[in-house]
Amino acid sequence: MGRPEDIRQACLAAPKFRNDDDYADSIAREVQRRGEEAMEMIKDRYGLSHRGDGSAVSATYGLAVDTPATPEGRMDGEPFADSTLAPAPGRDKKGPTAVLNSVAKIKTIETYNHLLNQKFLPKFFEDDLKPAFISYLKTWKELNIPHIQFNVVDKKVLVDAQTVPEKYADLIVRVAGFQRLFCRSLPGSARSHHRRTEQSLS
């Protein structure tokens, strides 16, 4: 048996969902399928099956605090992915289109309101890069993914906003299905915004 940190690094190095890796994506698809089957076994007072709802929104921040370490390398209390379809912070390594390709493999027909959050630098909305972003949105639509939303902000701005909040009183960020003033975000939510992968389009 190796040292705990060696084991954790091996877990972190293992293939991760949302990198267009067929092996990792097949596990995610199986988890979704089994979750739907488990929900269908639970009946309400009218005899109807329960259905999963992916719109837990910011509940993930609070739940993560009290959740022990998990097998993919996440440490005790570290944030979860900030929505049901979004990558765990920093785990998406192959670009935004790889995220879309992975998410498209998950069938969410029997559950509700699955959310996908991504962060882009403001430069990708400037004139010369707008066509690439428009093509990206067309890919999202063609893959029939139920939801996507974006934060368009530089990580340096978020760090500065926590240091000198009075300078950024009107800075608004998307959380997960809603938006809020960044300086009024809960600590877990603010940390999650810092750690989201800054996507780029080549």
What residue ranges do the domains of the chain occupy?
A: 4-199
- Residue 43: strand, helix, or coil: strand
State the helix-helix crossing angle for 96-104 and 130-142, rounded to 10 degrees.
10
Strands 149-152 and 172-174: unpaired
Residue 58: helix, strand or coil by DSSP? coil
Q: Cα-atom radius of gyration of the chain, to the nearest Å? A: 18
Phi/psi of residue 173, each to 5°? Answer: -125, 150
Task: Output the tens digit of pLDDT for each of the chain's 202 residues.
Answer: 568 889 899 999 999 999 999 999 999 999 988 988 898 899 999 998 888 877 766 677 778 888 999 988 889 988 888 788 888 888 899 999 999 999 999 887 777 778 888 888 887 777 788 888 899 999 999 999 988 888 887 778 877 877 888 877 777 776 666 666 666 665 555 556 556 777 777 6
Look up residue 5 and give its two tokens. Answer: 């940190």
Distance CA 49, CA 40 (A): 5
Among 89, 56, 61, 91, which residue's Cα sits nearest to residue 77? 61
Buried b (16+ CB within 10 A) or exposed e, 83-95: bbbbbbbebbeeb
Q: Which helix (H) or strand (E) holds 149?
A: strand 149-152
Structure confidence at residue 169 (pLDDT):
79
pLDDT for res 65: 85
Number of Cβ within 10 Å of residue 152's Cβ equals 15
